[in-house]
Amino acid sequence: MIYLFIAALLLALLLGARLLVRQNRLLEQLRGAIQFQQPLLKSEGSADHLPEWPGLTEDVNRLITENATLRQQRSDQLTQLEATLGNLREAVLIVDEANYIHLANRALREIFPASRDLVNLRLELIVRSAAFLDYVRATRTGQPLPRQEFEITDGASSTWIEASGAPIPSPDGKTQWALFVIHDMTQQRILERMRRDFVANASHELRTPLSVIKGYVETLVDGHATMSDDERAKFLATIQRHSDRLNAIIADLLTLSRLESVTPGVNFEAIDLRAFLLALVDDTAQRPNAKRHALASRLDPDLGEISGNAEKLTQLFGNLLDNAVKYCPAGANIVVEARPLAATGEIEVAVRDTGPGIPAADLPHIFERFYRVEKGRSRESGGTGLGLSIVKHIAQLHGGRVWAESEVGQGTAIFVRLPLASAGKAAKPDSR
């Protein structure tokens, strides 16, 4: 009897243990389904082992399906948002609570081209500005902040951005993210700086001869009665020299301003560049100050025609020849070369001299307004510092470009490339 009881107890224990193992397995399956968001199959498990199992399976499967639908909707919305923002001219940025970038549209990638895809990078790596990072932090906390401008420096270059932001809840609603609309202000700031520099430079250039004239006139007014004739003549000659200078600066400034503003009014005609340059070299060689040098031309016989404005081109090549004549010590060789470039449909003209040359550090700047390599020498020879700037503008007006090559002590060559008449197309000059 007792054996029977023990056997029944063992059987009951065994059955109980098996049930526990199966229930455990079912719970494991349930955990796996939730973890991997995979609905449970009806055949998985059985109601025999856990009466609530079918109901539980149904509820869990419903939750998993709903969750999947929500996630899909969210990803569709993000894709749609990215597609919409991608075409916006304004740059849009979304960062999370740890400053990881979650959305960066095309306009933003154009401002910060360091990396092709900014998403998942930390903001600190892209925008190196403590002030902007503070602004991001403050925006996330919900502080109402006005639109603000930031200068972001990277080595020698600066980018200016104007940002306005708003806090947004993270998709799971647990943390606070931030969204920013950013405008690239760099071009505007560079232009403003150039304009400021230009006004400062122009005022300075005009003030120098003016103050000399003023000083001499005052002395003449006070002392003309007691002055010797010689002294008075010397004073008047100085006044004349400085008023000529004022005149030259104002004439060059007017030329530049006309080149910038009335571009569409310029008449273009077919110009045989070979005949044009030959005549110009001849005219220059006749001038008294050019007689101390040897002027020559090496022009390809089949140079071809360009579509240009003769008056402006005379000014362009005249300024280059003037500089060569002006800056070379007596006995220099000055050559005007020209050749057609079949591959690019252009004509390349070079004005070469064997003068003092231009140091490498100055070369990139000589086409800027008022830039002079040696200030004293340029002023002495009547230079305004605007000649090469005018040259650059006229070349651009003809759809061409200019550059310089030089070696100190060896000489200078200024190159001008202009499109052949068939390929000619005028471009808008920039404002430097």
Helix (H, G, I), strand (E, B) or coil at 350: strand
Span of 19-27, 191-199, 310-318, 323-331 interacting with ligand ADP by CB under 6 A: 323-331
The reply on whether position 317 binds ligand ADP by CB under 6 A is no
Among 304, 308, 356, 424, contact with ligand ADP (rule: CB under 6 A)? 356
Q: Least CB distance from residue 332 to ligand ADP, whole Å?
A: 9
Helix (H, G, I), strand (E, B) or coil at 164: strand
The reply on whether position 412 binds ligand ADP by CB under 6 A is yes
The reply on whether position 315 binds ligand ADP by CB under 6 A is no
Distances (CA, A) of 270 to 184, 221, 306: 42, 55, 6
Distances (CA, A) of 401 to 126, 274, 323, 345, 377: 35, 19, 18, 13, 27
Distance CA 216, CA 208 (A): 13
Q: How many residues bind ligand ADP (CB under 6 A)?
A: 21
Among 323, 354, 415, 424, contact with ligand ADP (rule: CB under 6 A)? 323
The reply on whether position 366 binds ligand ADP by CB under 6 A is yes
Helix (H, G, I), strand (E, B) or coil at 421: coil
Reading the block at residue 257, the tokens are 């301003």
Identify which of residues 171 and 318 has a Cβ nearer to ligand ADP in the complex. 318
Span of 236-244, 281-289, 364-372, 419-427 interacting with ligand ADP by CB under 6 A: 364-372
Distance CA 55, CA 57 (A): 5
**For residues 99 and 196, is the Cβ–Cβ distance under 8 A?**
no
The reply on whether position 304 binds ligand ADP by CB under 6 A is no
Q: Least CB distance from residue 336 to ligand ADP, whole Å?
A: 12
Among 165, 304, 308, 387, contact with ligand ADP (rule: CB under 6 A)? 387
Say how many C-beta atoms besides its own lie within 10 A of residue 198's C-beta: 17
| Residue (of 262, 252, 345) closest to 309 by Cα position | 262
The reply on whether position 255 binds ligand ADP by CB under 6 A is no
Span of 14-22, 309-317, 377-385, 395-403 interacting with ligand ADP by CB under 6 A: 377-385
Among 385, 400, 419, 424, contact with ligand ADP (rule: CB under 6 A)? 385
Distance CA 212, CA 240 (A): 11
Distance of CA 252 to the CA centre of its chain: 28
Length of the chain, please? 432
The reply on whether position 209 binds ligand ADP by CB under 6 A is no
Say how many C-beta atoms besides its own lie within 10 A of residue 156's C-beta: 5
Residue with tokens 């998942």: 120
Identify which of residues 123 and 350 has a Cβ nearer to ligand ADP in the complex. 350
Distance CA 161, CA 425 (A): 34
Identify which of residues 374 and 405 has a Cβ nearer to ligand ADP in the complex. 374
The reply on whether position 53 binds ligand ADP by CB under 6 A is no
| Residue (of 249, 198, 207, 230) closest to 383 by Cα position | 249
Among 96, 348, 374, 405, contact with ligand ADP (rule: CB under 6 A)? 374
Distances (CA, A) of 389 to 22, 376, 394: 89, 19, 9
Q: Least CB distance from residue 227 to ligand ADP, whole Å?
A: 34
Q: Least CB distance from residue 370 to ligand ADP, whole Å?
A: 8
The reply on whether position 415 binds ligand ADP by CB under 6 A is no
Q: Where does this chain bind ligand ADP (CB under 6 A)? A: 323-324, 327, 353, 355-356, 358, 366, 371-374, 378, 383-389, 412
